[in-house]
């Protein structure tokens, strides 16, 4: 048996390639939408991908299940659990608790493990060449290393009303009746790692075991004492804010993401053509450089989506492809290879319309985004001080009078912003406020960024 983890550092998301070396066939679980890594892995191992499946209807990225099936002619398997409100809207074989997929010597058995979502499946993998006992659990967003999937995302991102409490109860039952009945030696391979918003304290290690989680995870004592209410209280306390784009992901993943198919290489565009398209508002420019570089001068109205780090996450903060004002993107990238990497990151969150790239700002209009120093802020007449950090960061220390609104939610909550006047935006380092500031300028708001971010203000006002 071959089991390989394909990990996206940006979204802290893991997918799995599981192959039977005897039969030369493989299944992929929780594929992302740019599918080349799976095709390359299959080719390198002389295998054909014959099945694709996923653990649940994802909220943090756009599923590649349909994309990979279209590229390989593989059979799609998805959950049939969760009731009528949680049925997939595209074709594929439905899996229910106890159902199994067989690939050569391998058996992939579905376990219904609701809690994070009502339809959630985990997969027990048995290598029949060695044993008839399962040795691996692909736990999706059910059990992470040291943590559990959050049960409140349906309230936060899918329009639910107090579903978190039932989800937490289901999580308790799934742990008691499914996870803790497995042998301690079973290896646990989760769908996310540290940095994901699908839990509040995910571990950075790639895998764990049932026995280790039973003994050392925070929830172990609650299960041992059968303390359901204590478990629910602890699970729901302190969950991070969900990004607004999660609602779009839920809807698209349930209905079935559009299949991209083979994509043409991105073209490098002449500066004159780019300038013309920007002037007529037939494109949106995306500056992918660092904050200092953007502050030195960028294209007026440009979005800032840093290429170093969380390109997909930050891209989904700044771009809503379902907006009536959505336009094709033109990327600033070092070369075509880097432009393709950025495009691949963006398609993982459903931002598909990229028209091309340029390698410099030469020949394009430029201006420096407005900034203000911490000392100047004291006498500045601002319509709003906008803190785009998380609630927990704001609570730990903030500029008096500031309004906290998570950066991943700003463009979807414009009613909280003043219609007129200057907005001063800040965060902890300047990156998030630059992303939000440029997105708001593109939307017509007058935004000034705080130089040195919150630490500069705190230092200037230290007693």
Average pLDDT, integer, range 77-105:
96
Q: Is the pLDDT of residue 383 over 90?
A: yes
**pLDDT tens by residue, 7-41:** 999 999 999 999 999 999 999 999 999 999 999 99
Instruction: Give yes or no: residues 309 and 452 share one domain.
Output: no
User: HEC string of 71-96?
Assistant: HHCCEEEEECCCCHHHCCCCCCEEEC
Q: Is the pLDDT of residue 362 over 80?
A: yes
Instruction: Give yes or no: residues 313 and 423 share one domain.
Output: no
Instruction: Give yes or no: residues 36 and 173 share one domain.
Output: yes
- Which structural domain, as residue segments, surrounds residue 399? 371-460
Q: Which among 290, 333, 280, 341 is positioned nearest to 312, based on CA atoms? A: 341
| Of 158-162, 186-190, 213-217, 450-454, minimum mean pLDDT range | 158-162
Q: Is the pLDDT of residue 157 over 90?
A: no
For residue 382, being part of any structural domain is answered with yes
Q: Is the pLDDT of residue 110 over 90?
A: yes
**pLDDT tens by residue, 414-448:** 999 998 999 999 999 999 999 999 999 999 999 99
Rounded distance between C-alpha atoms, residue 52 and residue 28, angstroms: 5
The pLDDT value given to residue 153: 83
The pLDDT value given to residue 201: 72
Contact between 228 and 166 (Cβ < 8 Å): no
Contact between 304 and 318 (Cβ < 8 Å): yes
**pLDDT tens by residue, 256-305:** 999 999 999 999 999 999 999 999 999 999 999 999 999 999 999 999 99
Instruction: Give yes or no: residues 275 and 351 share one domain.
Output: yes
Rg of the chain's alpha carbons, rounded to an integer? 23
The pLDDT value given to residue 202: 76
Cβ contacts of 36 within 8 Å, gap of 6 or more: none
More confidently predicted of 156 and 42? 42
The pLDDT value given to residue 162: 79
Residue 439: helix, strand or coil by DSSP? Answer: helix
Q: pLDDT category, 158, cuts 50, 70, 90?
A: low
Cβ contacts of 298 within 8 Å, gap of 6 or more: 285, 287, 289, 304, 361, 366, 367, 368, 369, 438
Q: Provide the 8-state DSSP code for 189.
A: E
Distance of CA 407 to the CA centre of its chain: 14
Q: Which among 122, 14, 39 is positioned nearest to 6, based on CA atoms? A: 14
Instruction: Give yes or no: residues 80 and 183 share one domain.
Output: yes
User: In the sheet where 422-426 sits, what is the strand order?
Assistant: 371-372, 446-450, 422-426, 384-387, 403-404
Contact between 351 and 319 (Cβ < 8 Å): yes
Instruction: Give yes or no: residues 352 and 453 share one domain.
Output: no
- CATH number at 199 reads 3.60.15.10
**pLDDT tens by residue, 194-238:** 877 777 777 789 999 999 999 999 999 999 999 999 999 999 998
Instruction: Give yes or no: residues 171 and 308 share one domain.
Output: no
Q: pLDDT category, 117, cuts 50, 70, 90?
A: very high
Rounded distance between C-alpha atoms, residue 103 and residue 101, angstroms: 7
Element of type H or E holding 394: helix 391-396
Q: Which among 413, 382, 385 is positioned nearest to 399, based on CA atoms? A: 385
More confidently predicted of 458 and 202? 458
The pLDDT value given to residue 309: 82
Mean pLDDT of the chain: 95
Instruction: Give yes or no: residues 91 and 58 share one domain.
Output: yes
Element of type H or E holding 26: strand 25-29
Cβ contacts of 215 within 8 Å, gap of 6 or more: none
Alpha helices (runs of H) in 210-335, residue ranges in sequence order: 210-216, 220-224, 228-236, 245-255, 271-279, 291-295, 311-318
For residue 316, being part of any structural domain is answered with yes
- CATH number at 301 reads 3.40.250.10
Q: At what angle do helices 431-442 and 311-318 cross, to 10 degrees?
A: 30
CA angle 310/313/317 to nearest 5° reads 125
Instruction: Give yes or no: residues 297 and 379 share one domain.
Output: no
Domain count of the fold of the chain: 3
Rounded distance between C-alpha atoms, residue 13 and residue 15, angstroms: 7
Point out the domain boundary residue: 228, 255, 282.
255
Instruction: Give yes or no: residues 336 and 426 share one domain.
Output: no
Point out the domain boundary residue: 222, 255, 288.
255
Q: Which among 304, 298, 302, 306 is positioned nearest to 278, based on CA atoms? A: 302
The pLDDT value given to residue 154: 79
């Amino acid at each position: 048996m071959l089991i390989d983890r394909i990990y996206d550092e940006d979204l802290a998301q893991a997918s799995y390639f599981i192959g039977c070396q005897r039969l030369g066939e493989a299944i992929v679980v929780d594929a992302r939408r740019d599918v080349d890594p799976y095709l390359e892995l299959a080719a390198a191992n002389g295998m054909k991908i014959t099945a694709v499946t996923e653990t649940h209807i994802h909220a943090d990225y756009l599923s590649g299940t349909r994309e990979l099936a279209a590229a390989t002619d593989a059979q799609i398997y998805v959950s049939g659990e969760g009731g009528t409100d949680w049925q997939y809207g595209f074709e594929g074989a439905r899996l229910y608790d106890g159902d199994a997929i067989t690939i050569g010597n391998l058996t992939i058995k579905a376990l219904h493990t609701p809690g994070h979502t009502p339809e959630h499946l985990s997969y027990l993998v048995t290598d029949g060449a060695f044993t008839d006992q399962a040795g691996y659990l692909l736990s999706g967003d059910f059990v992470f290393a040291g943590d559990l999937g959050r049960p409140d995302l349906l309230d936060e991102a899918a329009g639910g009303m107090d579903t978190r409490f039932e989800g937490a109860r289901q999580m308790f039952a799934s742990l008691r009746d499914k996870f803790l009945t497995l042998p301690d030696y079973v290896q646990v391979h989760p769908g996310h790692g540290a940095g994901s918003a699908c839990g509040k304290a995910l571990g950075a290690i790639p895998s764990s075991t049932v026995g280790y989680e039973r003994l050392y995870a925070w929830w172990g004592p609650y299960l041992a004492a059968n303390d359901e209410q204590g478990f629910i209280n602890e699970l729901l306390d302190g969950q991070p804010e969900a990004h607004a784009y999660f609602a779009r992901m839920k809807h698209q993943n349930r209905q079935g993401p559009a299949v991209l198919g083979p994509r043409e290489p991105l073209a490098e565009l002449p500066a004159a053509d780019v300038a013309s398209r920007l002037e007529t508002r037939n494109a949106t420019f995306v500056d992918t450089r660092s904050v200092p570089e953007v502050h030195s001068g960028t294209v007026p109205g440009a979005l800032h989506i840093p290429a170093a780090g969380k390109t997909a996450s930050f891209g989904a903060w700044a771009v809503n492809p379902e907006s009536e004002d959505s336009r094709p993107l033109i990327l600033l990238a070092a070369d075509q290879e880097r432009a393709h990497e950025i495009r691949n990151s963006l398609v993982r969150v459903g931002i598909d319309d990229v028209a091309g790239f340029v390698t410099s700002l030469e020949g394009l209009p430029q201006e420096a985004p407005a900034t203000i120093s911490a000392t100047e802020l004291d006498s500045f007449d601002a319509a709003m001080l906008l803190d785009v950090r998380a609630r927990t960061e704001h609570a730990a220390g903030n500029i008096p009078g500031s309004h906290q609104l998570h950066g991943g939610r700003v463009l979807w909550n414009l009613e909280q912003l003043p219609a007129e006047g200057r907005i001063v935006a800040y965060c902890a380092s300047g990156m998030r406020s630059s992303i939000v500031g440029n997105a708001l300028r593109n939307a017509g708001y007058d935004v000034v960024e705080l130089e040195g971010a919150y630490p500069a203000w705190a230092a200037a006002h230290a007693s």
